[in-house]
Structure formats: structure tokens, C-alpha cells
């Protein structure tokens, strides 16, 4: 029992010693290849720093504030942050050259099937059947837009009647 207790205490002491030797428990950590004092940011910190549209102006204001706070008499300068200059907008892709490839619409026919009764007296109410008469296809070049067919009520024009009374 005493041997097990000593073993547990030894393992706990060794594992806590490893964390302090490796620096795993420290709050700040330096980026490799960077001068001392420059700390890395976690992905969450980077996201929150660059979340808005005006993050570049905020970074510039922070940089100007750091540069104004440097003390030239003692020779200690503040850490500079390098900012990539560029546009805030994403580049727009170029338009396709003429002739433009256009995908035509399929021509669909709607067939109405009326209700019918068979010889046994059973009633069938099928409704509509849709079929594709002409499949979609590629067309090259700019074509004139086709007029969409519209349904209009049939109007009958009566011819003018001549005076039958002479």
C-alpha cells in the first residue's frame, strides 16, 4: 500500500515537472523566428481582430499608436506590425468573351387526360402528363430572346353588316 502511494506521488511530481520544463502551462508564447516580445495569436484572436470590414484601418491606428509610444531617448522602440497594403474589395472575374455559350430551355408539352370510365364501371381521373419534346442544348452566340407565349381569351370580331334595307 505504501509502495503504491509513493509511486502515485512520484508520477504526479514527474508529470508536473515536465509541464514547467516544456513551458506548456505558460500564458504567453513567442513565435519561432520572430524577435523576443512578439507574441503569436490564436486563430480565435486573429478572427476577432479581422472580423469587420475596417480591420486594416484599426490595425493602422494601433500601429500609429505604438509608433507614437516609442521612447527615442532611452533607445527602446516598440514592436512594429507590418500590414499588407491592398484593396479591401475582392477582384472581379473577367467576363466571358463573345460568343457566349447559352443553354437553351427544354420544350415541355403538357397533355391533359380527361377522366374516363372503363367497361367495369371504374372511374379513372389521371390529370396531366408532362413530356419533354425538345431537350436542352447548347447554343453559341447571343440570340434574341424568344417571346414567351401567353394565353389570351379568344375574341371574335363581327364583320360589319351591310344595310340590307334598300
- Against a cut of 0.75, is the pTM above it? no
Q: Is 130 helix (H, G, I), strand (E, B) or coil?
A: strand
Give how far the C-alpha of residue 107 lies from the chain's centroid of Cα atoms, to the nearest Å.
33
Helices (H), 26-162: 43-49, 55-68
What is the pLDDT at residue 130? 92
Is the CB of residue 118 less than 8 Å from the CB of residue 124?
A: yes
Three cell numbers written together for 73: 531617448
* Per-residue pLDDT reduced to its tens digit, 124-150: 898 999 999 999 998 887 555 666 767
Helices and strands counted in the chain (H then E): 3, 6
**What's the rounded mean pLDDT across residues 5-32?**
67
* Per-residue pLDDT reduced to its tens digit, 40-92: 777 887 777 777 777 777 777 776 765 565 555 555 555 555 555 555 566 66
Amino acid at each position: 500500500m505504501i509502495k503504491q502511494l509513493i509511486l502515485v506521488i512520484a508520477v504526479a511530481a514527474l508529470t508536473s515537472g515536465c509541464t514547467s520544463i516544456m513551458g506548456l502551462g505558460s500564458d504567453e508564447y513567442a513565435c519561432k523566428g520572430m524577435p523576443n516580445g512578439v507574441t503569436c495569436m490564436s486563430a480565435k484572436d486573429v478572427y476577432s481582430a479581422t472580423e469587420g470590414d475596417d480591420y486594416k484601418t484599426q490595425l493602422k491606428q494601433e500601429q500609429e499608436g505604438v509608433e507614437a509610444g516609442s521612447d527615442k531617448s532611452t533607445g527602446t522602440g516598440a514592436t512594429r506590425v507590418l500590414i499588407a497594403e491592398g484593396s479591401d474589395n475582392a477582384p472581379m472575374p473577367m467576363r466571358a468573351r463573345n460568343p457566349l455559350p447559352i443553354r437553351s430551355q427544354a420544350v415541355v408539352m403538357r397533355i391533359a387526360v380527361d377522366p374516363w370510365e372503363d367497361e367495369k364501371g371504374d372511374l379513372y381521373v389521371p390529370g396531366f402528363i408532362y413530356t419533354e419534346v425538345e431537350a436542352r442544348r447548347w447554343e453559341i452566340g447571343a440570340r434574341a430572346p424568344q417571346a414567351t407565349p401567353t394565353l389570351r381569351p379568344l375574341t371574335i370580331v363581327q364583320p360589319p353588316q351591310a344595310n340590307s334595307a334598300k
